[in-house]
Amino acid sequence: MASLVRHVTIDCADPHALAGFWAQVLDGTVAEDDNPGDEEVAVNSAGADLLFIRVPEGKSVKNRIHLDLQPQDRSRDEEVERLLALGATVLSDQRRPDGTGWVTMADPEGNELCVERSQAERSATGAA
């Protein structure tokens, strides 16, 4: 039998605060027994389970892994605006005039993520 990914773990300075951001992004919930000041905080969602762990060192280089988000009930551009309002920042805008492309963003602690087009946007252009 093969292994499965139980959750993706993200190192951070403030697990509870960052988990709160990601719970909103993923329409998930912070685990009931996780509180501010905890060393580990979990987020459960339909799309992914994330675990945030406090580490003493700050982020110093580009992530070797990041999450690609595909909006489910809005467009890519609407999702970018929603994430900006939640505290994310734009690192690189790769949107093209024909509507393809993505936006690379950072969460409040600088971890990279990409926002891709929704399935509806992909279907409208015949893209997979």
pLDDT at 125: 80
Q: Which residues contact 100 (CB under 8 A, 6 or more apart)?
A: 117, 125, 127
Nearest to 69 by CA among 32, 27, 38: 27
The pLDDT-based confidence of 128 (bands split at 50, 70, 90) is low
Diameter of the chain by CA atoms?
A: 47
Cα dihedral 63/44/24/70 (nearest 10): 60
52 and 75 in a single domain? The answer is: no
Percentage of residues of the chain with pLDDT beyond 90: 77
**pTM to 2 decimals?**
0.90
Domain count, the chain: 2
42 and 74 in a single domain? The answer is: no
Which residue has 């580490």 as its token pair?
Answer: 55
Q: Which stretch of 44-48, 98-102, 117-121, 122-126 has the lowest confidence by average pLDDT? A: 122-126
Average pLDDT, the chain: 93
CATH of the domain at 50: 3.30.720.120
69 and 127 in a single domain? The answer is: yes
The pLDDT-based confidence of 5 (bands split at 50, 70, 90) is confident
Q: For residue 29, give its domain range.
A: 1-57
**pLDDT exceeds 90 at position 67:** yes
SS3 content of the chain, % helix, strand, coil (to 5): 20, 25, 50
CATH of the domain at 102: 3.30.720
Last residue of a domain, one of 9, 32, 57: 57
> What separation, in Å, do the N-terminal and C-terminal C-alpha atoms of the chain show?
30
33 and 84 in a single domain? The answer is: no
User: Per-residue pLDDT tens for 12-60?
Assistant: 999 999 999 999 999 999 999 999 999 999 999 997 899 999 999 888 8
Last residue of a domain, one of 20, 39, 57: 57
